[in-house]
Amino acid sequence: MGLITKSRIKSPWIVHYSCGGCNGCDIEILACLTPLYDVERFGILNMGNPKHADILTVTGPVNHRNYRVLKNLYEQMPDPKVVLAIGACACTGGVFHNCYNVLGGIDKVIPVDVYIPGCAPRPETIIDGVIMALKKLNEKGSKAE
Amino acid sequence: MNGSDILMALAALALAPLIGGILRGLDRILTARMQGRIGPPLWQPFYDFIKLCAKSKKASHRGPVVWAWAYLVLTVTAWLLFVLRQDLLILLFILAFAGASLALGAFSVRSPYAHFGAYRELLQMLAYEPILLLAAVAIFLKTGSFMVGDVLGFEQPLLISLPLTLVAVLIALGIKMRKSPFDIAASEHAHQELVRGVYTEYSGPTLALIELTHWYELVLVLGIISLFWVIPLWVGIIIALSCYFLEILIDNITARLRWSWMLTVGWSLGVGLILLNIVIVEFFGLGLRL
Amino acid sequence: MPRITFPFGPQHPVLPEAIQLQLTCEDEKVVEVTPVIGYMHRGIEKAAEGNPFVNNVFLCERVCGICSFMHALTYCQLIEGLMNINVPPRAKYLRVFWSELSRIHSHMLWIGLLADALGFESLFMQCWRAREVILDVLEMTTGQRVIQSSCVIGGVRRNIDGELAKTVFNLLDEFKKQWDAISPVVQKDYTIRARTEGKGILPKEQAWELGIVGPTLRASGWAHDCRLLGYAAYGELGFQPVVEEGCDSYARTLVRVREVDQSLELAYKALNNLPEGEIAVKVKGFPEGEAAVCVEQPRGELFEYARGNGTPHLERLKIRTPTFANIPALLVMLPGSELADVPVITLSIDPCIACTER
Amino acid sequence: MTAETLVGVLVLLPFIVGGLSFLIRSEGLRKPFVIAFSLVMIIASLWLFLEVYNYGTLVSNPSPVWEYLIFAVDCLLIGYFLYVGITNKHYLIILLAAFQSVSFPLISLPFHKQVKPVLYIDLLSVIMCLVISLIGSLIVVFALDYMRNHEVHHRVNPSRQHIFFFFLISFLGAMNGLVFANSLFWLFLFWEITTLCCYHLIRHDLTEEALGASLRALWMNLAGAVALIIGIGLSLHNFDTVVIQELISSGVVGPALLLTLALFCFTGFTKAAQVPWQGWLLGAMVAPTPVSALLHSSTMVKAGVYLVLRLAPGFVETQLSAAIAIFGAFVFMVTSVLAIGQSNAKRVLAYSTIANLGLIICCAGINTGLAIAAAMVLIVFHAISKGLLFLVVGTIEQQVGSRDIEDMEGLITKLPVLSGIALVGMISMLFLPFGVVFGKWAGIQAASEPVTTWFFLIVAMLVMGSASTLVYYAKWMGRLISCAPDSSGSSEVKAPLAYGTLMALAVLAVGLSFLVVPLVVNVIDPAAVAVGYEEGFKVVGTALATPWGAFPVWPLFVAVVLALVIPALVVRLKPAEVSAVYMCGVNVDERHLVFRSAVDGHVQVETGGTYWTQWFDELSLNKWINAAGIVLLAVLFVGVVL
């Protein structure tokens, strides 16, 4: 395993955007940072700035107003980058699928690499998803080189 | 400058980032432990650094990248001046130039967040510059020289006569290392109103450059602290590391405060302590001058 | 005076949710604030009209993932009122128990977020660690951590008895131990006080005039709490609302800190005094007529209104959430504050945008 | 040509040329004429410099006839000031001028001793002369283009340039005379002439603001002159001499001498606009920019510090010296702090000027060889850099239509050359290894030596002022370089003479900094030695060393080249790598600083500057600062008597 590959896998920085969910997934993502789950063990940091991030974690369904925000955040991230759809709503629209203002899952707007189901997914599931995303991240990175 | 100096400079160039990175790794582990977490591996800063280097470049225009280089090169210059046992004041002036470069890099993009960060960075410099410069003066008063080389040759430990100065330098150290309660311009973590302030517009390799500079800076600042006990030098190094530990501890038991508070502390407590120390040393003869 | 105008959100590290504050500053002083919403609007009220009324419990509790139990409770009480269902007393006590646990977990989460926005990382971590104990209790008793779905029309779905109750008591004791270590820090720490005291003042009269609700109102000196209405078992358990007179962010912090103690006490009380009997009654027929209900949610008064027409579908469901009522407070508190205080003041109303925009 | 002829040229030629350019009303004719004059001045001053450098201090005794002439001109000037006071109904001016009209004849008429030498031209004098003639001439040349544009902008018709150039050029002669003079009467004359020029140049635009500012400058400078006359009277009364050199080397340091010197220093402080006299210099910023550059930063205000520096050997190791040092350091600190809250570029520069003059005065007060050398270094480099900055601001003002720093945002894309020069100017004011900061460094090193009881206060104020300087200049630089992706291209109008002058000054600022070792070793140090101090600096290897530190010149230059110049040349971005700034995800597009806000409306991002007005508010700070300044001045006099 090359140094770059190893570093990439060991240092995933996250930017989180809450599209239009119910907060449940958002707090579960935050909970991942806290002592019980402590994702910093894997080098995961929540950066809050798309320009610094490798992984975009999105919760909630996209609606007519926030899809542009989501797209903009995605575009501002430097390559290689991956997108995680966290929770049922982000995957498909979930319980809000029939709401008039909801477009559906976030894959309607940006390419999604890993879907994490659940309402809300448990922190363990989310961590699992991030680890899966890392594989994709590395594939994308190596392809670019 | 002779051959051994050149060798030493090269070694310092190579070693400083290594030590700085490990210290940062330690910092993150210690911080995590204080927060009841396990924390990342020791080598985490290096992983971050290499990963950032391998990311694609993105910038608003070339200005910030140029200033990031200036920040790095000037900080390295200051470090070399230290290693080559040069003048402390010159070193601090160059360090100020480096710090200003960071702010200017943020200024060069018209982003409100970066601008706020840059203004606050300047305020931070306003708060700690006098402390560091005065500390150099206090050291001069004891040792009779501004040259690091002469300070290294000074027999009596400076800490014995300049304890208050060290306390003041700790304030400056806290500001310089962006630790609570002084992480006003750019906090370690992004959960701040400025989205990491001066670093907002940096990404990928340029951010890596800045991280690298932080490592040099950290080693340099700790080096300056270790001047307080140079014979034997390992005591000084232990003192510097304890100061570093203390900063991490303070970081974890305080919230971030406002710039006005920082400026007040820097200009009253910081400067005041050193002046008091100078007065005690000079006029009450605690520790004779050369 | 030069002005700095910029967007604060919708994506911003100190805002866990998407709301935009369009800020204009002079120096670092905020002079103009325009809250911009719509980033999280889904259209739940409309969707509720299309769902069978029984299913709406699950939709309603996803109005907000933090206080989901309260939303379910409110909707259930609404329909129960509409259909004249008598909920068994044991269910009422269990509802109080879960409500209060929700309140604790919400307040703990809030204190953590405040600490995080203040750069007090370790306090954030400790708060969230203690909160995990509460989540464990919730998961143990309902089966889920954040969206419990334990409240149904006519009662509750799960019972707490025997071994489970003992474990729950142990966990609550454990939480109390952790909380007793955290709460003095939140109340007394110099840096926290320096950052919150005198920041974001909401004068007493103005708070009432603006129709502010919940802890934000109570921190401005009004003893207003919907639990005084005595819904569920609150009438029998008895309690006094927590009131602070400080009117600033620190007072709002204190209200929430003291409410954690109070909620814990209520939870103990509810669990200790659980009446024997059924936990749910069967629901027959369809809702007809109009009803409205108020529930004290962690952020304040949650109001729901429904009109049924004798079919499985409601004709209208209206949800008015506390944050919606509290946003005007921001417009009073933010102008004139420092930029550094914007996160503190914004958080001090404990904004829940998911609620607000539904 | 003898050295005395050169002196004559340097002092008298400007008056002649000034008179001629008053007569020449044609711009086309004036231009080559003035340029030729400038060349002559530069050559003459360099020549004189070489003469003094090679053959030592030059003393000269012009014919006694000059004394009568000087007396006559002095009386005329005082009469004129009285007239100005009366026509403007400015009672303070009337009072001060009346006092002078009585006291001046009273003390000068009974005095009949032969004054020897009348002119005393040592290295310090020629350094000043070089600064005046070289930078002054460049500024005069710059003014040729500038004033034409100025009159076009302000729609002045008929042209009043002849009046402007009369005073501007004559002023150079007065300044040269001032630095050469050894007789206090001569000094007084030239002092008054500079006051006159200053008054007329400030009121040149004849706006209400300009008239008010000119009167304020006049009364404050007259107050200084009153102190000068009293000082001369005391000197005559106690020592029976008007010769500066005799006065300061009399050997007897008693209260009488110190009081006299303190009065002269007080005069110097008024000219150098030290707190609480800073008001006139700030007001003087209404004058056309060449005036600000020439009179109010690089030369005339330097007359004040020159006087203090000249007298410094007379009060070595006295309490007066310490008081002066504290006063200077105090001024340096407070004016640097005040500058942080300013957004008017010329006001920032004015505060920075006052601060640097304070620093020089502080060095003079520290009064060791190192400190005096540092003061001289500061005089030279500050004159270059500050002259440059004023001229740049003036040019920017003509092209942008504002002198507000806020309006200079992103100027680097609009006026790349000009902004580049401005950046060079500011960097040379602010950072190592450039001359001004070298002087500051030497100053701090000198201040660290406990020569007085209060040295720790001095050094504390110096470092605090130094940190403040960093803040306001860096802020300003930040405004200049702040680029938006949609910035439009260059729209620079490059007037050849103005731009040529700017380039020359920028090259001088950087080049002379690079040559600081030979400059200090060969010129500054000997100049300090010549006035009676030990050598401040020595050369160790490639570094310039003080007894306690070393300044490695070329390694620092290499570092700066590596840090800034090479990245600026090498770093380029591919179009694919350019991205919009972070705007919380609501950017409207890649190129514009516009975000989506309420009801999807587009809002322009504004990035105004920050001035922390609640802390650095001029109005609220001024009363405290002025009070402290007055107290310190009082201490200065009280300390003398004790």
Exposure string of D495-522, with b = 16+ CB inside 10 Å and e = fewer, is bebbbebbebbbebbbebbeebbebbee
* Average pLDDT for runs of 10 along chain C of length 358: 86 83 87 86 86 86 86 89 87 90 91 88 90 90 86 86 86 91 90 89 89 90 86 83 89 92 90 85 84 89 88 88 88 87 87 84
CA distance B231 to chain A (A): 39
Q: Do residues C293 and C169 lie in contact, with contact meaning Cβ atoms separated by under 8 Å?
A: no
| A46 interface with B at CB cutoff 8 Å | yes
Q: With residue B265 as reference, give the H or E element that holds it.
A: none
Q: What is the three-class DSSP state of D494?
A: coil
CA distance A2 to chain C (A): 33
Q: What's the mean pLDDT in A115-141?
A: 88
Per-residue pLDDT tens for D30-44?
888 889 999 999 999
In a domain, B288, yes or no: no
Q: With residue D280 as reference, give the H or E element that holds it.
A: helix D278-283
Measured distance CA(D390)–CA(D426) in Å, rounded: 11
Per-residue pLDDT tens for D207-227?
899 999 999 999 999 999 999
Give the pLDDT band of residue B290 (cuts 50, 70, 90). very low
Measured distance CA(D41)–CA(D9) in Å, rounded: 8
Neighboring chains of D (3 or more beta-carbon pairs < 8 A):
A, B, C
**Of B178, B180, B169, whose CA–CA distance to C189 is shortest?**
B180
Is C36 in Cβ contact with D598 (below 8 Å)?
yes
Above 80 in pLDDT, residue D440? yes
DSSP character for D276?
T
CA distance C352 to chain A (A): 8
Residue type, B214: H
Residues of A near C (CB-CB distance < 8 A)?
A: 15-28, 30-31, 34-36, 46-50, 60-61, 63, 65-66, 69, 73, 95-96, 98-102, 119-120, 122
Q: What is the three-class DSSP state of B182?
A: coil
Structural domain range at position B86? 3-283
The torsion of the CA quartet D398, D404, D410, D416, rounded to 10 degrees, works out to 30
Task: Kindly write down the DSSP assignment for every residue of D243-255, as one continuous string.
Answer: BHHHHHTSS---H
Above 60 in pLDDT, residue D618? yes
Measured distance CA(D326)–CA(D459) in Å, rounded: 9
Q: Where are the domains of chain C?
A: 45-357
Q: Do residues D301 and D357 lie in contact, with contact meaning Cβ atoms separated by under 8 Å?
A: yes
Structure tokens given for B221: 């600042």
The predicted pLDDT at position B197 comes to: 80
CB-nearest to D583 from C3, C7, C27 is: C7
| B275 interface with D at CB cutoff 8 Å | yes
Query: Contacts of residue D577 in chain B, CB cutoff 8 Å?
Result: 56-59
Above 90 in pLDDT, residue A95? no
Above 90 in pLDDT, residue D335? yes
> What CATH number was assigned to the domain covering residues C45-357?
1.10.645.10
The predicted pLDDT at position B133 comes to: 93
Measured distance CA(D260)–CA(D269) in Å, rounded: 14
Query: Contacts of residue C14 in chain A, CB cutoff 8 Å?
Result: 48
Query: Contacts of residue D585 in chain A, CB cutoff 8 Å?
Result: 17, 50, 68-70, 72-73, 76
The predicted pLDDT at position D642 comes to: 64
Residue type, A19: C
| C125 interface with B at CB cutoff 8 Å | yes
Above 70 in pLDDT, residue D1? no
Q: Where are the domains of chain D?
A: 316-571+609-642, 572-604
In a domain, B290, yes or no: no
Three-state SS for D42-103 is HHHHHHHHHHHHHHCCEEECCCCHHHHHHHHHHHHHHHHHHHHHHHCCCHHHHHHHHHHHHH
Angstrom CA distances, B37 to C115, C128, C184, D213, D574, stand at 17, 12, 22, 66, 42
Query: Contacts of residue D470 in chain B, CB cutoff 8 Å?
Result: 96, 100, 122, 125-126, 129
Measured distance CA(B101)–CA(B122) in Å, rounded: 10
The predicted pLDDT at position B188 comes to: 66
**Of D286, D279, D288, whose CA–CA distance to D391 is shortest?**
D288
Predicted-complex ipTM score: 0.91
**Structural domain count of chain B:** 1
Size of interface A-D (CB pairs under 8 A): 23
Q: Do residues C106 and C16 lie in contact, with contact meaning Cβ atoms separated by under 8 Å?
A: no
| A51 interface with B at CB cutoff 8 Å | yes
CB-nearest to D612 from C9, C27, C34 is: C27
CA distance D275 to chain C (A): 27
Measured distance CA(D559)–CA(D567) in Å, rounded: 12
| B258 interface with D at CB cutoff 8 Å | no
Is D582 in Cβ contact with B201 (below 8 Å)?
yes
Is A20 in Cβ contact with C39 (below 8 Å)?
yes
Query: Contacts of residue B197 in chain C, CB cutoff 8 Å?
Result: none
Query: Contacts of residue A46 in chain B, CB cutoff 8 Å?
Result: 189-191
Per-chain mean pLDDT for chain D: 87
Residue corresponding to tokens 């004068």: C203
Domains in chain A, CATH or no CATH each: 10-144 (3.40.50.12280)
Query: Contacts of residue C16 in chain D, CB cutoff 8 Å?
Result: none
Above 60 in pLDDT, residue B91? yes
CA atoms lying within 13 Å on the CB side of residue D483: 23
Neighboring chains of C (3 or more beta-carbon pairs < 8 A):
A, B, D
Residue B101 buriedness (CB in 10 A; 0-12 / 13-18 / 19+): buried
Measured distance CA(D6)–CA(D51) in Å, rounded: 10
Per-residue pLDDT tens for D479-534?
999 887 666 667 777 778 888 889 999 999 999 999 988 888 888 888 888 888 88
Peptide bond into D158 cis (omega under 30): yes
Residue type, D523: V
Closest-CA residue of D relative to C24 is D606
Above 90 in pLDDT, residue D579? no
Is B57 in Cβ contact with A48 (below 8 Å)?
no
| C62 interface with A at CB cutoff 8 Å | yes
**Of C130, C244, C124, C260, whose CA–CA distance to C192 is shortest?**
C124
Is B31 in Cβ contact with C6 (below 8 Å)?
no
Q: Do residues D116 and D61 lie in contact, with contact meaning Cβ atoms separated by under 8 Å?
A: yes
Per-residue pLDDT tens for D581-617?
888 888 888 777 888 887 778 888 888 888 888 888 8
Give the pLDDT band of residue B22 (cuts 50, 70, 90). very high
| C117 interface with B at CB cutoff 8 Å | yes
Closest-CA residue of A relative to D580 is A76
Is B35 in Cβ contact with A78 (below 8 Å)?
no
Neighbours of C329 (CB within 10 A): 25
Structure tokens given for C222: 């009004």
| C2 interface with B at CB cutoff 8 Å | no
Above 50 in pLDDT, residue B181? yes
Measured distance CA(C121)–CA(B250) in Å, rounded: 11
Pairing of strands A55-59, A82-86: parallel
Task: Kindly write down the DSSP assignment for every residue of C59-117, as one continuous string.
Answer: HHTTS-SSSHHHHHHHHHHHHHHHHT----HHHHHHHHHHHHHHHHHHHHHHHHHHHHH
Is C24 in Cβ contact with D343 (below 8 Å)?
no
| C331 interface with D at CB cutoff 8 Å | no
Query: Contacts of residue A69 in chain C, CB cutoff 8 Å?
Result: 10-11, 18, 39
Q: Which of A6, A8, A11, A77 to mutate to test the interface with B (most CBs of B within 10 A)?
A: A11
Query: Contacts of residue A38 in chain B, CB cutoff 8 Å?
Result: 32, 37-39
Measured distance CA(B143)–CA(B148) in Å, rounded: 10
Q: What percent of chain D has pLDDT over 70?
A: 98
CA distance B35 to chain D (A): 29
Above 60 in pLDDT, residue B286? no
Q: What's the mean pLDDT in B100-105?
A: 92
